[in-house]
A and B are shown apart, each in its own frame.
Chain A
């Protein structure tokens, strides 16, 4: 036997080694620790050649295990996912079933997740079903309706009712002594732009106003934006003021106001110290931005009055036991109801006192909703009394809505649509009948703000763009919105906001503000990308038609060219008296009045083509020469030579050659790879365009614009920032800006008409100019 031949190990059996009677377990384990560690590691992290799902015993293996981690035992899933991540393949999860996703709780969770990135309006879901949504200014906003209702929206604004949700405007509350607030605003506004915030016309709170805000003491530079304000009517020394600020300017305006207030506090403190009257110091101004504390809808068009009259039913006396009534008692309900009734027969909001503010307390709008969509109409039998239109009664403007205390109570008591339907079906015996004095539904405070629209019949149709703005407490957006829609209002989005401003002849985001610059940059990027996506044969060769910045208006370069020294900062003229003088001198073909900082001054003009032709964004406004008006029909920009054309061709040929070379070498490599079995060459797909495309783009469209004035055969005076066919004028119109010296030059030549050329054409067209006064 083999065993007997082998010598024994243990001494008791006749071997050589003496073994101990007991083993020390600690020592035993520690001497084998290396082995144990190796083994446990082996178990936890299987050998590199195998993947986790391959380690599962055969009877536990399942089909497509590697793709669907759910088929693995749960304890292996994590390791498996880690491995997948390492290999670069993101683990693709199956989309949960529609049924699961649509469960209310899951849906809400999903909505909350998506709202983290962009703020949603309360009517977001309604809009998202019907509109193209875009991201703008930290919000997700409706851009245009999916049914392409461009002209229908215009018709709505001119003859019916156009409804827009502008809740994205940020309300800012300012509290403080009237005098201090006035002083603060004196630093950031200028008296030449119009009435100041503390003018007697506004301070009572019966009318809203608009002011232009600049940086601190930097007028005329540093324009920020225009702001609508409403004073809360009250008698005390401490006053409340609400600003409604465009979201692109909110931060800037808030910081500027805070700075202005703090400077003032310092001054006050010092003067008070000198006078040793320290009680003044404690009074200061509080500035609070409160986004999404109100909802605000904009109704435009003559029918908007009828829509509001039909959907808002005033509460006569405060018998209703709404909770918020105990917090803030609304005043003068009866008188308000009466007044609302007397003006309810007006056929358009343009007939009412301009800029009027009306505070009402109304019944729940769901009660006055029609069964199906009907157009609200005025009963025209009773004529409105002109006496009631002359003056605004002083009690009409106060509203409990401005009291922030009640907002919480209103939201708590607000019935959602589901609760409302439940309540109605439970309490109604006869279906279809509505009990208007239902105590379960609370009444809602709202504020109506009238916009007068066009008041100058020489410029635009009288009353075009007139309408109401309605301000609601948060939580009530959807009930009101749906009621307005059911009364025949047409909904519009941001596109309509732009086109409305264009039709009214107003500047939408002027180019001297940061918001305007941002907007210009965005448009430039969009247009540029679109241009380079086209195949070269479909691209307009801008060099040949002498246009060097087709996608953006280089205001700096323009002003530098016209003033002989470098201009970095520029501004749009907003001085009312000077604008009026300029308008007069244009109509009379006289010399222009002098302006301070004329070097960097842009003048806003409204451009109307004399004959046919279409005007587009970024078109050039050019200076006509002596004989131009006589032979307009044959006035073309001559063809220009494109020096880059040859270079482009050469470059392209070279590039193609290079590409071929690379491809050939790749093929060779591939063959080698198949034989040798080395690593694969991975294709790099970068987002950044390659050096070659960049240089080609530069050859198509040189990005550095040195000079713009004398590039084409006619001198460039300015640019059109917004141009299109205008429905109110029945011809192509535009809003543009002209350098002050250019206008001076034009009038010195004895002309008051300009030439306009589109960026894609060689044709010069004649146009009339009118100064825009309501920038």
Chain B
């Protein structure tokens, strides 16, 4: 079923934006699987204020955290990159960036809109970025 859906999606995506992959189903998203959480791990979202997240990162770094890890998924990747670059400028010379990219399998629920159909689900792949920002010199320049 999942394969059929992806095929249909490909065909439809040419015509119009891929909101409804199938007329019989409503697409409901589930929470994507999360990598290891911690104090120095920040998930970048599109809804949170950019400045607030930048401040949070700055705080963590100036407080003496050796490294922070930023995760961005899908549309938030660009934001994540921007944030990392901003941080690099702010902590000029004292920070280094290591970037990894990956793919996250997101599961979507397909809720039937007609009586005869059963629930279904599909796997959607989404790109992700994982940026590790670590200090190479503790100067306290930004205190």
Contacts and interface: CB of A to CB of B under 8 A. Distances in A.
A233 to B, nearest CB: 14
Given A195-B115, A201-B117, A386-B105, A380 B31 contact: no
A663 to B, nearest CB: 65
Interface stretch (B8-16, B55-63, B94-102, B118-126): B118-126
Interface stretch (A134-142, A287-295, A418-426, A451-459): A451-459
A457 B105 CA distance: 17
B107 interface: yes
B116 interface: yes
Interface in A374-405: 380-381, 383-384, 386, 389-391
A198 B115 CA distance: 8
Interface string B22-63: 000000111111101100000000010000000000000000
Contacts of A352: 30
A390 B107 contact: yes
Q: Is the interface of A mostly helix, strand, loop or mixed?
A: loop
B28 A200 contact: no
B115 A462 contact: no
B109 interface: yes
A238 interface: no
Contact of A351 (B47, B107, B117, B118): B107
B35 to A, nearest CB: 8
Contact of A201 (B2, B37, B119, B123): B119
Given A353-B121, A386-B123, A390-B123, A466 B31 contact: yes
A354 B115 CA distance: 17
A353 B115 contact: no
B121 A200 contact: no
A456 to B, nearest CB: 7
A55 to B, nearest CB: 83
Nearest to B47: A461
Contacts of B118: 200-201, 204
Q: Is the interface of B mostly helix, strand, loop or mixed?
A: loop
B29 A457 contact: yes
Interface string A439-480: 000000000000010011100011100100000000000000
Interface residues on B, range: 20 to 34
A381 B118 CA distance: 34
A348 interface: yes
Contact of B115 (A196, A348, A390, A457): A196
A462 B31 contact: yes
A510 B31 CA distance: 29
Interface in B104-143: 105, 107, 109, 111-113, 115-119, 121, 123
B29 A456 contact: yes
Nearest to A380: B36
B49 to A, nearest CB: 9
Contact of A380 (B37, B112, B113, B121): B37
B33 A386 contact: yes
A351 B119 contact: no
Nearest to A355: B119
Contacts of B107: 351, 386, 389-390
A455 B105 contact: no
A367 interface: no
A289 B90 CA distance: 66
A451 to B, nearest CB: 13
Given A200-B115, A201-B112, A354-B28, A391 B34 contact: no
Instruction: Sort A-B residue pairs by CB-CB distance and give the 5 closest, nearest first.
Output: A455-B28, A350-B31, A463-B31, A199-B115, A386-B105
15 contacts: A199-B115, A199-B116, A201-B119, A207-B119, A347-B33, A350-B31, A352-B30, A354-B28, A355-B119, A380-B37, A390-B2, A452-B28, A455-B109, A462-B31, A463-B30
